[in-house]
Structure 1
C-alpha cells in the first residue's frame, strides 16, 4: 500500500506541471502588444527552459528567471512566441504584435520626405521605420556620439 501511495505521489509531481493553467496573457487569444524599442515583462506559471520567437527581427524574448520573460519589440509586425518547459512540453504559444508608440510623436512631411520627432516635452529626433534615410542616419550618428561619450 505504501509503494502504491508513493507511486501516485510521484505521478502527481510529473503530471501536475502539465495540468497547470497557461499564463494569463496567453489565455484569451489576443496578441501581446509591445512598443518598438520597448520591453515588457511576462510572468508565466511554469518554469520556462526554452523560448522560440517566430521572427526574431520583430521581437526578442529572454528568460530573466524560470517564470519571468522579457519581451522586447524590435520592429513593426506580428510574430509568435512559443515557451517550452525543460521536458520540451509547451507552456504557451501566443501571438506578439509590435506596434509604434503614438503618444508624444509628431510626424513632419516635406514633400515625400518624412521625419518623426518625439515631442514630450521638447522635440527630439526619433528613428522610425519609413522616415527619410538621411534624417535617420543623422539621428543614429548623433545617438552614437552620445552613447560613446558615456563610455
Structure 2
C-alpha cells in the first residue's frame, strides 16, 4: 500500500531525505513508498557528474540505486520525525546492465527491501527507462552509527 499521498518532487524536501549533496545527488523524485518498497525517479542531466558522452554511466546507475535506498530510509525516518542517518554501500552483487540512459531521459528505480536487520538493509533494485528494465542489482547498505 502506497503511503505517499502524492509523489515528492520538491528538491528541497528530497535533499532533507538523503544525506548526499551536489554534485552527487542521484534522485530527484520519490514516486512511491511502502514499508518494503520504494520507487524513485531521476532525470539525467548533462551536469550530472556520472554523465559521459551523453549517457549516464554504470557507476551512476549503481549510485542511483544506492540513493534510492537512502531515500527509502530517509523518508521512513522523516515520517517518524527522526533525522535520517548516513549510510554506505556494503556490497553489490548480481548486477546486470542492459542499457545506459541518455541525457534528458527519466529513469525510475524500484527497490524492494528483502531484509533489514541492525542497520543493514539487503535490497533488490530494478531501474527502468520507459518501462524497459535497464539495470538490476542486489545491494547491501549499512547505516552509520
TM over 0.5: no
**Which structure carries more helix by proportion?**
1
TM-score category, normalised to shorter length:
under 0.3
Choose between structure 1 and 2 for higher RCO, CA contacts under 8 A separated by at least 6 residues: 2
Structure whose CA Rg is larger = 1
